[in-house]
């Protein structure tokens, strides 16, 4: 198993650099397009949610993202010091019936749940969110 860690402030500028580093890691692997898409999608949705929704506790929360390449899964582990949020408990609203009823946003957690095989969450003693997701490789 190979593992790499990215540590960065919870800002969109830092996210862009971290996403580029993730893409470089994925370039080093022989992944099919579907797996690669799912990893990038999950990373983007989870990190941008932290950036958008966790800043009330700190001016700039920090994010630590570990990417582990296992034989049959890619495991993303994200830790942040933002507000507590367990995506497994988030209630997803019904999908709109038409484009006229649709609004932008609000489907990220649903996308993450659909892209992952397993999601685990805990709030640590250090008051950090610890989220682990497994994506089939």
Sorted by where each starts, the structural domains of the chain and their CATH numbers stand as 2-136 (3.30.565.10)
- DSSP category for residue 135: E
Query: Could you tell me how many helices (H) and strands (E) the chain has, helices first?
Result: 3, 5
Q: Are the beta carbons of 22 and 74 closer than 8 angstroms?
A: no
Q: Give the integer Cα–Cα distance in Å for 67 and 31.
A: 14
Q: Output the pTM of the full model.
A: 0.86
Q: pLDDT 10s digit of each residue in the chain, 137 long?
A: 689 999 999 999 999 999 999 999 999 998 999 999 999 999 999 999 999 877 655 466 899 999 999 999 999 999 998 888 898 887 766 666 776 766 666 667 888 899 999 999 999 999 999 999 999 99
Nearest to 135 by CA among 59, 34, 47, 45: 34
């Amino acid at each position: 198993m190979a593992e790499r860690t990215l540590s960065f402030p919870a800002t969109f500028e830092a996210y862009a650099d971290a996403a580029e580093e993730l893409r470089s890691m994925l370039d080093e692997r022989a992944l099919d397009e579907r797996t690669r898409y799912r990893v990038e999608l999950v990373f983007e949705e989870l990190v941008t949610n932290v950036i958008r929704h966790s800043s009330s506790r700190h001016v700039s929360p920090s994010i630590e993202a570990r990417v582990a390449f296992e034989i049959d899964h890619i495991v993303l582990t994200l830790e942040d010091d933002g507000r507590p949020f367990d995506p497994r408990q988030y209630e997803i609203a019904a999908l709109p019936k038409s484009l006229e009823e649709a609004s932008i946003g609000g489907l990220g957690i649903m996308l993450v749940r659909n892209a992952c095989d397993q999601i685990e969450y805990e709030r640590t003693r250090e008051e950090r969110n610890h989220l682990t997701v497994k994506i089939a490789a």
